Each structure stands twice: as C-alpha cells, then as structure tokens.
Amino acid sequence: MSPRDEEFMRRALSLAEKAALSGEVPVGAVLVSAEGKILAEAFNRPISLCDPTAHAEIIALREGARQLKNYRLLGTTLYVTLEPCPMCAGALVYARVRRLVFGAFDPKAGACGSVYNIVNDERLNHRLEVTGGVLAEEAVALLKNFFKEKR
C-alpha cells in the first residue's frame, strides 16, 4: 500500500457521497498521475446522463486522457470506492493504468479478483497492480445505506 492511498480513497468516498445525493449508486473515482497529482475526479452518473457507460471509472479515465492528451494513461493510479465491473476493468487495461486501488469488494460483479480477474488476465496485453479493501468498511457502509434507503 502507498502512503497516500487512504488520502485519495477518502477523496473518492466524498465523490461517492455526491453520487448518492444525486440518486446515483455511490461510487467515486480519482485518477492520480505518477507524480501524485490528481488528473481527474468523477462519480457515477449513468442515470443523470442516460448513459450506461457513465460509471465513475470511465468518466475519470476520459477526463484523464483529455488532461494528458493521450489515451494511454501510463504510470497512473485509479482510486475507486467499489471494485470495478467488467466494462471498467477492460477500460483500465486498455488505458494502461499502472495501478488500481479500490475500497469495497464486489462479490456479484467485481472484475478485479472477486468474480473475474480481467485486470490480471495473462491473455491480455497489460496487467495492473491491484490493492483492494482500502477503507472498505466506509465504502461498504455507503453502499448499504444507499440501497437501504432505496428499498
């Protein structure tokens, strides 16, 4: 674990809270450069944007690519409050993100070790360093509270 992992995950959690306040599933993401500079921040927006691909990770990757003027996000780390789904995990591989740090594991759709392991599939051309479970209790509580209020 990196010394700043909790700092960036706390930022991602605050973004996830914004998603919840907007009625979106509370997931937040922060993309950080190799130098430790925040390149992009995002939260889930598929409902508000009417876009099934508007997951926090995808929005952060798009903005990071714009910032770097390159679709290859070499040396970057993505912090996200929930283990990425297959779509987002594939995008991380194709973007060449170096490292993924996530909070809550997703036993239903996680694609970074829980159900699938797309980010470390030897058949693909890139693999990521993965650290899961960072501030997991806070991330899980945010998700559970959100869905409890929805029911």
**For residue 94, what are the β-bridge partners?**
none
What are the catalytic residues?
57
Query: What pLDDT band is residue 151 in, cutting at 50, 70 and 90?
Result: confident
pTM above 0.95, yes or no: yes
Q: Read off the tokens for 88.
A: 């987002």
The three-class DSSP label of residue 78 is: strand
Distances (CA, A) of 44 to 24, 33, 39, 49, 88: 6, 21, 17, 10, 12
Check residue 1 and give its pLDDT: 80
Exposure on the CB side of residue 90, measured as CA atoms within 13 A: 4
